[in-house]
Amino acid sequence: MTKVLLNRKIAQRIANGHPWVFGNEINSIEGDPAPGDIVDVFYHDNKFAGRGYYNPKSQIAVRLLTRKKEEIND
């Protein structure tokens, strides 16, 4: 699964429950996700933050769906 690593400054907002990750808050992406793909999101220190879907054409690059490592399907 594609791994999205966040910038350090966003960690607190996401940890407090905000479900959106903006494109300028992403430090790096490991893999080549297509629009709509499910991605794993990690804090700057490599701790799991959640799982969501990716949209490179939106300012909101990842919309978190869960904070757990659970399967997301149809």
The two structure tokens encoding residue 58? 């939106």
Q: Is the pLDDT of residue 74 over 80?
A: no
Q: What is the pLDDT of residue 73?
A: 83
> What are the tens digits of pLDDT across the range 4-60?
999 999 889 999 999 999 999 999 999 999 999 999 999 999 999 999 999 999 999
d(CA 41, CA 56): 15
**54 φ, ψ (degrees, to nearest 5):** -100, 135
> What are the tens digits of pLDDT across the range 33-46?
999 999 999 999 99
Q: What is the pLDDT of residue 13?
A: 93
- The pTM score is 0.92
